[in-house]
Amino acid sequence: MSIHLVTDPEESFSQDRETCVASRFPRVGAVSYLNSKPLIEGLENVLPAGNLRLDYPSRLADDLSAGRLDVALIPSVEYFYRDDYKILSDACVATHGPVLSVKLYTRVPWGDIRTLALDEGSRTSAALSRVLLAERYGVEPALFPLPMSQSMAETDCDAILLIGDRAIHPPAEDFADTWDLGEEWVNWTGFPFVFAMWVSSTTVDSSQIEPLLNQARDNGLQNLGKIAKREAEQLDLEEETALTYLKKNLHFKMGSAEQRGLELFRELASNLSSPG
């Protein structure tokens, strides 16, 4: 199949959809949060209709595992659990410092946390919260779900993890303390943190989709201003806040430092007890 990748960031992808449909093209799942928009800029225009689905990270991981998706932007911790997974692209969602959209709030001193409410969409961030609490405070709290429909006020847990777009907004409640988990990890380890990356089963032919994922990321990076303007109003954010988040808080390419951070996280996460 011949694939044309555009180089002008102001243009949409150019692709013959009928040619795509003629072959079995991978079903792709991407995260619906603002932090993933630069990774999928224009991607819907190059994939066959219906082949790109947006959802929460945890649900994408389940669908990839169950074979309902062929390629997905999944939480990095999910990659650790499967020997038959492969990373497709150097496009990722990472941070080199404060990430803004992954917050751990506590109502009690960190060492006194006994119960932890976990955002329904989280898995990597849930594991990161547990790693930091265990390694730094020797705390292993009981875990409880926080559905997307439930507010922070509706749980009485000692600590609450929020991720994604709703974590960017300041909480209505006053908490004893707050961690930006990206900032805490980087300050503690000295390495970037990778929250999500493109993954597929090793049995999937990724030769057609991988260059498109790279091009989508490159296209997104050159259109951050347009993405911020488009998405900010929908999320009730200031355009400047959305742009700063995409440009300063996030990093979208996995290099050697990101890989080393990912391996350290893998090692530490393997020491966690089963969440039950």
Query: Which tens digit of pLDDT belongs to each residue from 86-100?
Result: 999 999 999 999 999
Residue 41 forms part of a structural domain: yes
Same domain, 84 and 206: yes
pTM of the model: 0.87
Residue 88, domain member (yes or no): yes
The residue among 146, 167, 189 that closes a domain is: 189
Residue 88 and residue 139: Cα distance in Å, rounded? 35
Answer whether residue 257 shows pLDDT above 70: yes
Query: Residue 45: which CATH number?
Result: 3.40.190.10
CA 28 to chain centre: 15
Which pLDDT belongs to residue 124?
A: 93
Question: 1 pLDDT band (50/70/90 cuts)?
Answer: very low
d(CA 142, CA 157): 9
Instruction: Give mean pLDDT, residues 1-17.
Output: 40
Does residue 233 lie in a domain region? Answer: yes
DSSP conformation letters of the chain: --------TTSPP---HHHHHHS-PPPEEEE-SGGGGGGSTTHHHHSPTT-EEEE-HHHHHHHHHHTS-SEEEEEHHHHHT-TTEEEEEEEEEEESS--SSEEEEESS-GGG--EEEEETT-SHHHHHHHHHHHHHH----EEEEE-TT--GGG---SEEEEETHHHHSPPSS--SEEEEHHHHHHHHHSS-EEEEEEEEETTS--TTHHHHHHHHHHHHHTTHHHHHHHHHTTTT--HHHHHHIIIII-EEE--HHHHHHHHHHHHHHTTSPP--
Whether the per-residue pLDDT at 10 is higher than 50: the answer is no
Do 29 and 148 belong together in one domain? no
State yes or no: pLDDT of 11 exceeds 50: no
Residue 3 lies in a domain: no
- Under the banding of pLDDT at 50, 70 and 90, the label for residue 178 is very high
- Decide if 29 is inside a domain: yes
Whole-angstrom distance, CA of residue 257 vs CA of residue 179: 22
pLDDT of residue 58: 87
Number of domain units in the chain: 2
Q: Residue 274: inside a domain, yes or no?
A: no
Same domain, 23 and 135: no
Provide the pLDDT for residue 9.
41
Q: How confident is the model at residue 121 (pLDDT cuts 50, 70, 90)?
A: confident
- Spatial neighbors of 59 by CB under 8 A, at least 6 apart, are 121
Kindly state whether residues 264 and 202 are assigned to the same domain: yes
Residue 275 lies in a domain: no
Among 7-21, 102-116, 134-148, 178-192, where is mean pLDDT lowest?
Answer: 7-21
Average pLDDT over residues 19-23: 40
Question: Confidence band (pLDDT; 50, 70, 90) for 2?
Answer: very low
The pLDDT of 33-42, averaged and rounded, is: 95
Question: Could you tell me if 205 and 79 lie in one domain?
Answer: yes
Range of the structural domain that residue 114 is part of? 102-189
Chosen domain end from 172, 189, 206: 189
Same domain, 161 and 207: no
Are 62 and 106 within one domain? no
What pLDDT is stored for residue 75 in this prediction? 92
Are 176 and 109 part of one and the same domain?
yes
Query: What type of residue sits at position 192?
Result: P
Q: Are residues 197 and 89 in the same domain?
A: yes
144 and 182, same domain (yes or no): yes
Average confidence (pLDDT) over 70-99: 95
Summary mean pLDDT of the chain: 89
Same domain, 179 and 240: no
Residue finishing a domain among 166, 189, 212:
189
Please give the average per-residue pLDDT across 116-126, as a whole number: 90
Token digits of residue 141? 């709290």
Is 138 among the domain residues?
Answer: yes
Task: Report pLDDT digits (tens) over 203-247.
Answer: 999 888 999 999 999 999 999 999 999 999 999 999 999 999 999
In percent, the amount of the chain with pLDDT more than 90 equals 77
| Same-domain pairing of 40 and 175 | no
pLDDT tens sequence across 192-214: 999 999 999 999 998 889 999 99
